[in-house]
Chains A and B, each alone.
Chain A
Amino acid sequence: MSILKKVFGLITGDSTAASFSMPKNRPLKKLTERELLQLESEIGAKLFGEVPEGHRREFFCLDEKTWIWYEEWKDAAGKRHTATTRYEVHQKGILKVQEGARYSFIEGEELKNLRLATTMYYEQVMRGVYGFDPKTGQKLHANHS
């Protein structure tokens, strides 16, 4: 089981959650919080362009103070690798937490890139999942679902 699935499992209590996919013409009202998170994650995974073959990428807002970046790939020998990075919102800034007890407050280009990613995530999730105009907060009239 991947770390991402474990994360989903911990959040949602459902170990099969990561296989959830967005149904066409879904009725938004019938989705639960965990399902909404999974729909957001699908959008987050596509924010950074084409995912290289053999790679899997996820990016999502776990809660109001945590963003998760997950990357999974296989090396030339076919060995599977995973990397999970957690970005935590703190008073002092954004703390980057990686496996192996590596902690650091991000700054410069990395901080700017994360800001751009969360902005794109917010804008696309508001439109694509919730049907709101991210600028005005007004419900979109178009058939967004």
Chain B
Amino acid sequence: MSELTPNLQNERVLSGGEVRFDLHKESEHVMPLNEGQALAAARLAAEKSQQTIEKAPTDSEIIAIHGLYVLQVRRHTAVATQADFDLAAGV
């Protein structure tokens, strides 16, 4: 005859010597999900991940960022150029 035996690792000794099953630890046990629960869990996970994925940039944003990049590199290069001229001229 099989009996449910307490998992001693999940028992806590309370004051007065009373022993109580630790529900917190028990809740950490992985329980198999039925199909409905699995679907619900998958849906929830998908929703959570969707919230963290950044939206793709729009055409306007791509155009803006290309202009910004080009300008930054152009100005950076030109500043370096001016510095070279200054150096050569002994400024």
A141 at the interface (CB under 8 A from B): no
Q: Considering only CB atoms and an 8 Å cut-off, how many residues of chain A contact the other chain?
A: 31
Contacts of B73 in A (CB 8 A): 126, 130, 132
User: Does any Cβ of B come within 8 Å of A32's Cβ?
Assistant: yes
- Does B60 count as interface, using CB distance less than 8 angstroms? yes
Q: Is B82 an interface residue (CB 8 A)?
A: yes
Which candidate, A14-22, A46-54, A78-86, A112-120, is the interface stretch facing chain B?
A112-120
Q: Which of B67-91 contact A (CB under 8 A)?
A: 67-71, 73-75, 77-78, 80-82, 84-85
Taking a contact as CB atoms under 8 Å apart, the answer to whether A64 and B67 are in contact is yes
Cβ contact within 8 Å between A65 and B67: yes
Contacts of B23 in A (CB 8 A): none
A122 within 8 A of B: yes
Q: Does B59 contact A (CB under 8 A)?
A: yes
Interface size for B (C-beta < 8 A) is: 21
Is B14 among interface residues, defined by CB-CB distance under 8 A? no
- Residue A40 at the chain B interface, CB threshold 8 Å: yes
Instruction: Kindly state the separation between the CA atoms of A46 and B84 in the bound complex, as whole angstroms.
Output: 31
Asked, given contacts A31-B77, A33-B74, A37-B74, whether A119 binds B62 with beta carbons under 8 Å apart, the answer is yes
What 0/1 readout, one digit per residue, does chain A (11-36) give for beta carbons within 8 Å of chain B? 00000000000000000111111001
* CB proximity of B40 to chain A, nearest CB, Å: 39
Question: Is B55 interfacial (CB 8 A cutoff)?
Answer: no
B63 within 8 A of A: yes
Q: Assess the B67–A36 pair: CB atoms within 8 A.
A: no
Complex Cα spacing A125 to B71, Å: 11
Using a CB–CB distance below 8 Å, which chain B residues touch chain A?
Answer: 59-60, 62-64, 66-71, 73-75, 77-78, 80-82, 84-85
